[in-house]
Amino acid sequence: MTFQTTDLCDANEGLLAEGRLRVLEPHFRHFGGRQRFSGPISTLKLFEDNSFVRKQLEQPGYGRVLVVDGGGSLRCALLGDQLAEMAVRNAWGGVLVYGCVRDTAAIGTLDLGVMALAPHPQKSLKRNVGEIDVTIAFGGVRLHPGEWLYADEDGVLVSETPLT
């Protein structure tokens, strides 16, 4: 991928002004082997339960980015190496977690974009509770299923439409 979020912001100042292109607050760290990733968004809303993360990543990703609103919890991880490997096998473009991840050394070797708030060694609960493809909000922006996410070393953008 050749885009840079800085260039996308500069080239789309009108979209930024209109709110059709939004910049997430810089709370996220890279953990995956791919630092730059993009794709249409699929969303999850859950709390300290990664059952639905598995359900989504078991499905073909078609280059999509799974955006997980984990409520910003820093008490357990919502993604580990096994689920990240599943994401690679099923052609997901990346995973952005508003929460924690674990097995970061292994995730760092995978050809997958992974961003999260922090690492955490404890796994999540398994209650099978969550919501799929709903509008979520964190990092100062609202994210809608089907919008486009662009992430690199400088930050994360969300656009209503694909950017060139």
pLDDT tens track for 7-51: 999 999 999 999 999 999 999 999 999 999 999 999 999 999 999
Q: What pLDDT digit, counting tens, does each position of 136-164 carry?
A: 999 999 999 999 999 999 999 999 999 98
Is 59 assigned to a binding site?
no
* Nearest one of 3, 18, 28, 10 to 155, comparing CA atoms: 28
Is 157 assigned to a binding site?
no
Determine the pLDDT at residue 131: 98
Arithmetic mean of pLDDT over the chain: 97
Alpha carbon separation from 72 to 60, 90, 134 (Å, rounded): 26, 26, 17
Amino acid at 144: H
Is 29 assigned to a binding site?
no
CB-CB neighbours of 58 under 10 Å: 13
Is 82 assigned to a binding site?
yes
pLDDT of residue 83 exceeding 90: yes
Is the Cα dihedral 2, 151, 45, 79 positive or negative? positive
Determine the pLDDT at residue 163: 96
How far is CA 149 from its chain centroid?
Answer: 8
* Nearest one of 71, 79, 76 to 138, comparing CA atoms: 71
pLDDT of residue 126 exceeding 90: yes
Is 103 assigned to a binding site?
yes
Determine the pLDDT at residue 164: 80
The ranges assigned to domains in the chain are 5-159
Is 7 assigned to a binding site?
no
* C-beta separation of 151 from 142 below 8 A: no
Query: How is residue 119 written in tokens?
Result: 């690492």
5-159: CATH architecture: 3-Layer(bba) Sandwich (3.50)
- How many angstroms separate the CA atoms of 56 and 43, rounded? 9
pLDDT of residue 58 exceeding 80: yes
